[in-house]
């Protein structure tokens, strides 16, 4: 059931960023998107890593058109707003980035993120001036679409192991606010005080925090108390599925036993869920 750009869905997503706190889980295929909607989540986000792993590729190796097709694939089967993990926009210069953002908006997303990771090991973050120009270009492309799609500006300081990640993130995220970002995001920050500083620095703009793996011990309520507006799990759910798969496959190969298959999801339940769509 295809869904075109729906301004009411975008408006709903925008309203979710105005108060409170919500979880934005990350499906990596159609089935997981449908199930997360069934559970009652109010919005979804794609995961570049989760999708890449499902295609037998490392994160960042999925080309633009394949990623756009995947984003559309996540958007179409549910009525929920979807935020696209659009990496660095598949372009370095602002003009090409703007053109790609236009294509991403055309998939029907309610939001998208643009990060400042250059993919260059010698200089892993775009130079600050260029990074700001890239956010400004993405903002202009979205404004020209007249869709109201939420633009999230991402600073990758923690993920690229910047020597002073908090200082870098604060400098860049506040600049991204001025450049037109609606929401701010520094994946990898886990320290309570540092999260609070980011929230304060960009207020009243909303902040997204990534919770993925064992390095993040803060709960939903603790993050909400810090003023975080949006919580995503990135590749966390995909890696949870991979973890179960790896353990079960290893048991079969190493021990010749099949005990972990007892933890499998009931196929009858999934047949019922997906069969209701036909």
Asked if the model's pLDDT at residue 7 lies above 90, the reply is no
Asked if residue 173 is part of any domain, the answer here is yes
Q: From the CB of residue 6, how many other CB atoms can be counted at a distance below 10 Å? A: 15
Pairing of strands 82-85, 44-45: parallel
Number of domains in the chain: 1
Indicate if the pLDDT at residue 102 is higher than 70.
yes
| Residue 122 forms part of a structural domain | yes
Is 268 domain-assigned?
no
The CATH number given to whatever domain includes residue 44 is 3.20.20.60
Range(s) of the domain holding residue 119: 7-235
Is the whole-model pTM more than 0.85? yes
The pLDDT of residue 215: 62
> The tokens 């995909």 sit on which residue?
238
In-domain check, residue 214: yes
User: Quick check: is 139 in a domain?
Assistant: yes
Answer yes or no: is 263 within a domain: no
Place of tokens 């492309």: 141
Say how far apart CA 123 and CA 59 lie, in whole Å.
Answer: 18
Report the pLDDT value the prediction gives residue 277, as an integer from 0 to 100.
Answer: 78
In a domain, 271, yes or no: no
Residues 135-185 have pLDDT tens digits of 999 999 999 999 999 999 999 999 999 999 999 999 999 999 999 999 999
């Amino acid at each position: 059931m295809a869904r075109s750009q729906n301004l009411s869905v975008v408006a709903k997503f925008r309203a979710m960023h105005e108060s409170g706190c919500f979880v934005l889980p990350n499906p990596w295929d159609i089935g997981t998107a449908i199930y997360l909607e069934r559970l009652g989540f109010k919005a979804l986000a794609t995961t570049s890593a989760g999708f890449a792993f499902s295609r037998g590729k490392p994160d960042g190796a999925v080309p633009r058109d394949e990623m756009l097709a995947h984003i559309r694939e996540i958007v179409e089967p549910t009525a929920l707003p979807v935020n696209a993990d659009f990496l660095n926009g598949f372009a370095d210069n602002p003009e090409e980035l703007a053109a790609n953002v236009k294509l991403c908006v055309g998939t029907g997303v309610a939001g998208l993120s643009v990060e400042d990771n250059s993919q260059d090991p010698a200089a892993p973050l775009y130079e600050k001036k260029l990074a700001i120009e890239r956010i400004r270009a993405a903002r202009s492309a979205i404004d020209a679409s007249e869709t109201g799609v939420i633009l999230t500006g991402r600073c990758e300081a923690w993920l690229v192991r910047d020597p002073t990640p908090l200082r870098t993130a604060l400098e860049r995220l506040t600049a991204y606010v001025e450049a037109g970002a609606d929401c701010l995001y520094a994946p990898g920050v886990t320290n309570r005080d540092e999260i609070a500083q980011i929230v304060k620095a960009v207020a009243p703009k909303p902040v997204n925090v990534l919770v993925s793996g064992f390095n993040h011990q803060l709960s939903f309520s603790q993050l909400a108390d810090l003023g975080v507006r949006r919580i995503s799990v990135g590749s966390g759910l995909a890696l949870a599925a991979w973890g179960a798969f790896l353990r079960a496959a290893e048991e079969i190969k190493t021990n010749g036993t099949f005990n972990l298959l007892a933890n499998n999801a009931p196929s009858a339940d999934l047949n019922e869920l997906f069969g209701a769509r036909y």
